[in-house]
Amino acid sequence: MFLYQKTLQFPVRVDSTNPALAELILEQLGGADGEMSAGMRYLTQRYYMPLPEARALLTDIGTEELSHWEMIATIVWKLVEHATDEQIKNTPYVQHYVNHGRNPFPHNTAGVPFTASYFNAKSDPIADLHEDMAAEQKARATYEHLIRMSNDHGVNQALSFLREREIVHFQRFGEMLDRVQDYMYSKHRKHDYDFDYNRIRSEQDRYKKY
């Protein structure tokens, strides 16, 4: 069960009206490496995790990503809330405005709507956690690009906070990957999965000799 608090995880302050910047930041609302992709990815992958602490981590981070999605939507809204028609014209945001007005809508910077094909759940904890770590690094890189493109100090403060959370998530997923691998490759573990992970580990060790 989710409990909603009527506060953002980090206060969002926008110092300007900037439709062009809003269009760029929509990348993190509905893009492949954005917050919606992250939240749906982790909340979908959690069920097959072999350890309760792994399921808890994916649930916690997945839920946090939904709060980040709300932050991004708030930034986009504040950047265009008071924009005039003249300020919107001749900016990349005009295509979004024609379809959705000023309302945030999940698509990427190119206008491609969000799709579940941006993420996967393979019922393979090792593969999924590697995907999660890569997703966090790509999101971090995207935030760094956005910060360089933005001249709004308030927006950059929020983007910097989100960038830092991507780094923390990457570290937490890396730590959990080690724990899950140790569990799945343990000689004392019952074979309650479709594959014999001990055999896979033996094969990996054998290949290291070459």
pTM: 0.88
Q: What is the pLDDT of residues 125-171, one digit of tens each?
A: 999 999 999 999 999 999 999 999 999 999 999 999 999 999 999 99
Residue 200 pLDDT exceeds 90: no
CA distances for 192 relative to 127, 159, 195, angstroms: 18, 43, 8
The phi and psi torsions of 27 (rounded to 5 degrees) equal -55, -40
Q: Of all helices (H) and strands (E), which one includes residue 154? A: helix 153-184
Residue 186's pLDDT is what?
Answer: 82
Q: Would you kindly state where each structural domain of the chain is located, as residue ranges?
A: 19-186+196-205
Domain 19-186+196-205 classification at class level: mainly alpha
- Output DSSP code: residue 22: H
Residue 63 pLDDT exceeds 70: yes
Residue 4's pLDDT is what?
Answer: 87
Residue 16 pLDDT exceeds 80: yes
Q: What is the pLDDT of residues 70-102, one digit of tens each?
A: 999 999 999 999 999 999 999 999 999 999 999
Show contacts of 106-109: CB within 8 Å, 24+ apart: 106/26, 106/29, 106/30, 106/34, 106/36, 107/26, 107/29, 107/30, 107/31, 108/26, 108/27, 108/30, 108/31, 108/32, 108/34, 109/23, 109/24, 109/26, 109/27, 109/31
